[in-house]
Amino acid sequence: MTDRRNYECDQCRQCPLKAECIKAKGNCKIRISFRLLEYRRQARANLTSEQGQRLRAARSTEAETVFGIVKHNMGFRRFHLRGLEKVKTEWGLVCIAHDMKKLVA
C-alpha cells in the first residue's frame, strides 16, 4: 500500500460552481495521506483510553496552570529576543522567576 494517493476531478472545467470551489486553473486535486490518517486514529485512541484520560486530567492541573500564571499574573505574552538560543535563555529566566515566586508564597 502506498503512503499517499492523489485524486483529481475531471469535471471541474464545465462546473458552474468552479469559481466558488477552487482557484486553480485546472481541475480540483486532493491528496490523502494514509500515514497521517493512521496517526490521527492512533492519537484519538490514545486520548480516549483510560490512561489518556488520566493524563489529560493531570495536565490541566500541572502544565496549564503554570502557563496561565506566566501569561496572566506575570504578564509574559511574547518573547522579546530573537534567535533560538536567546529565546531559550529568556524562557529559562521566566521559569526561574516562576519557581522563585512559588518558593516565596
- With cell 492523489, the residue in question is 6
In terms of Cα–Cα distance, which of 77, 103, 100, 102 is closest to 90?
A: 77
Q: What would the pLDDT profile of 76-89 be if each residue is shown by its tens digit?
A: 999 999 999 999 99
pTM for this one? 0.45
pLDDT digits (tens, 9 = 90+) for 12-57: 777 877 777 777 777 777 788 989 999 999 999 999 999 999 988 8
Residue that wins the pLDDT comparison between 61 and 50: 50
Cα-based distances in Å from 39 to 31, 36, 42, 51, 88: 16, 5, 5, 18, 30
